[in-house]
Amino acid sequence: MLRNLLASRRTLLGCLLLGMILWGGSSAFADPTAPVAIDSNTDKVNSGDTAWMLTSAALVLMMTGPGLALFYSGLVRRKNVLATMMQSFILMAIVSVVWAIVGFSIAFDAGNPFFGGLHFAFMKNVWMFPSEYAPTIPFSTFMVYQCMFAVITPGLICGAYAERMKFSAMLLFSVLWLLVVYCPLAHMVWGKGGLFNFAMQPGGSLKFPALDFAGGTVVHISSGVSALICALVMGKRRGYGKIPMAPHSVVISVIGAALLWVGWFGFNGGSALSAGGGASSAFVATHFAAAAAALGWMFAEWLKTGKPTVLGAISGAVAGLVVITPASGFVGPMSALIMGAVGGVVCFFAATSLKHALGYDDSLDAFGVHGIGGTIGALLTGCFAQQFFNPSVPDSAMNGIFFGGKQLGNQAVATVISWVLAIVGSFILLKITDVVCGLRVSESEEFDGLDITQHGERGYNLEEEFGGTVLDGGSSGSLGSAITGTQTKVSHA
């Protein structure tokens, strides 16, 4: 007990130090970045672009709920189905509130290469006027679209700690993680003046313009690698590898995967921030990558184990969507198809052979799919990108190495930094959370399931005949029968 606490204290101290160094260091890089320009002329708002971006925002929210909620909760055991859904659902709520208060500002206000400022805190100035980020749509549309990305990213991590994390710990960790890992990384990649931002970098010298169209690093590497850390720090589920932990309903996982696929059109297609050739190109790349990856995983599995599983096909599709995410706006349809196929096969081996060889318990393969898939995607973007498909890329030197460019290097740098940030950040935050409220439920709670122990509910009450007792509720008042005077007529069959 004491030793644990001491250990934790020491860890904490280390963390604080590291944090200060990072924060301090960041100011060294800081160029005086001009504030984000907001155009008070709403005439420039384009209704078509706005329509598409609002639709995309809705689609991206649908990816978390019900998409991810279903995909993940189908894979857990019956006793944890609601708790797993709740993780997705409550992130829709809590991340959005944090985003409104301060998250968006950290990510998208101009600032140093690592953090944004606080001009947009409490949604100040985030109204109907278009901004520099997307000059044809209201700034509030841009903000809410980005909000949906912030919602899903910590949601992806849930796959790693499913079936054993305390609900309170999960809430705390997710909020911290959003502020410490996600928002800074989003700032680096997409924020004005961010370290990797290729489009809006006011002349910084220490910069690595990286291509990340819709969040290969920001969303998938960050969450996938953090998921690995979660799996390692939290340890395995009790009985893992000894008792079977078969998915309680692949049926609902299939629904979830299909909705993820559909929603991803908003995720990638919407990242064009307008409705035109760019969105269309990203949409197509997304679709073909998912298709090829589903086949890739399925056929790899069919060859290796003799049976093509449904869970394999849907996992493959998701892997393909992950892989294409950073590339979607920069590659042509056939490149997307190839990237998807590669991603499907590699993630198959990551989520099966690799995981079992190393023996960590990433319950739902958040690392195998998002961590590995995101990494592959970021690197392959440096192979397949073509300026042709995205005129906003300033220089054809940023083409992938297969198309005469030399972008692979910068992609690797961005990838490594994302890994490091995710590893260090998640480790520290898990330790903090552990100290504050403990990470894991007790053995008996894990045995009884999170649904009943964390939430006091069960997912399915299909055997209604076994009764029970109403302890409280519904019996005290009598309005229901009294007020109407004469009883309502009841027809007899």
Say which amino acid occupies 34.
A
351 binds, among its own copies, another protein, none (CB under 5 to 8 A by kind): another protein
Distance CA 382, CA 95 (A): 31
Say which amino acid occupies 413.
V
Min dist. Cβ of residue 305 to another protein (A): 6
The pair of three-digit structure tokens given for residue 14, joined into one six-digit string: 């280390």
Min dist. Cβ of residue 233 to another protein (A): 22
Judged by CB under 8 A, the residue of 352, 407, 415, 418 near another protein is 352
Q: For another protein, give the closer residue by CB, 16 or 310.
A: 310
Looking up tokens 């030793």, which residue turns up?
3
Q: Which of residues 96-125 bind its own copies (CB under 8 A)?
A: 96-97, 100, 122-123
Q: For its own copies, give the closer residue by CB, 210 or 422.
A: 422
249 binds, among another protein, its own copies, none (CB under 5 to 8 A by kind): its own copies
Write the interaction track for another protein spanning residues 220-249; mark x where CB under 8 A is met and - where it is not.
-----------------------xxxxx--
**Nearest-5° angle of CA 178, CA 181, CA 187?**
95
How many other C-beta atoms are found inside a 10 Å radius of the C-beta of residue 118? 13
The pair of three-digit structure tokens given for residue 278, joined into one six-digit string: 């760019």
Note whether 277 binds its own copies by CB under 8 A: yes
Note whether 308 binds its own copies by CB under 8 A: yes
Cα radius of gyration (the chain)? 24
Note whether 410 binds its own copies by CB under 8 A: no
Give the range of 20-28, 130-138, 323-331, 403-411 binding its own copies by CB under 8 A: 130-138
Distance CA 166, CA 130 (A): 42
Distance CA 181, CA 179 (A): 6
3-state secondary structure of 363: coil
280 binds, among its own copies, another protein, none (CB under 5 to 8 A by kind): its own copies
Note whether 419 binds its own copies by CB under 8 A: no
Handedness of CA 393, 378, 171, 70 (dihedral sign): positive
* 350-379 residues labelled b (16+ CB within 10 A) or e (exposed): bbbebbeeeebbbbbbbbbbbbbbbbbbbb
Q: Which stretch of DSSP H or E encloses residue 90?
A: helix 81-98
Give the range of 110-118, 192-200, 257-265, 404-412 binding its own copies by CB under 8 A: 257-265
Judged by CB under 8 A, the residue of 159, 269, 326, 329 near its own copies is 269
Judged by CB under 8 A, the residue of 180, 186, 221, 284 near its own copies is 284
365 binds, among its own copies, another protein, none (CB under 5 to 8 A by kind): another protein
Do residues 156 and 219 touch, judged by C-beta distance below 8 A?
Answer: yes
Q: For its own copies, give the closer residue by CB, 137 or 322.
A: 137
3-state secondary structure of 137: strand
**Nearest-5° angle of CA 144, CA 104, CA 429?**
120
Total binding residues for another protein by CB under 8 A?
37
Write the interaction track for its own copies spanning residues 134-153; mark x where CB under 8 A is met and - where it is not.
--xxx-xx-xx--x------
Q: Which of residues 432-461 bind another protein (CB under 8 A)?
A: 447-448, 452, 456-458
Going from the C-alpha of 3 to that of each of 89, 239, 240, 434, the distances in angstroms are 36, 27, 27, 14
Write the interaction track for its own copies spanning residues 338-367; mark x where CB under 8 A is met and - where it is not.
--------------x--xxxxxxx------
Q: For its own copies, give the closer residue by CB, 188 or 422.
A: 422
Q: For another protein, give the closer residue by CB, 466 or 482.
A: 466
Min dist. Cβ of residue 60 to its own copies (A): 10
How many other C-beta atoms are found inside a 10 Å radius of the C-beta of residue 257? 27
231 binds, among its own copies, another protein, none (CB under 5 to 8 A by kind): its own copies
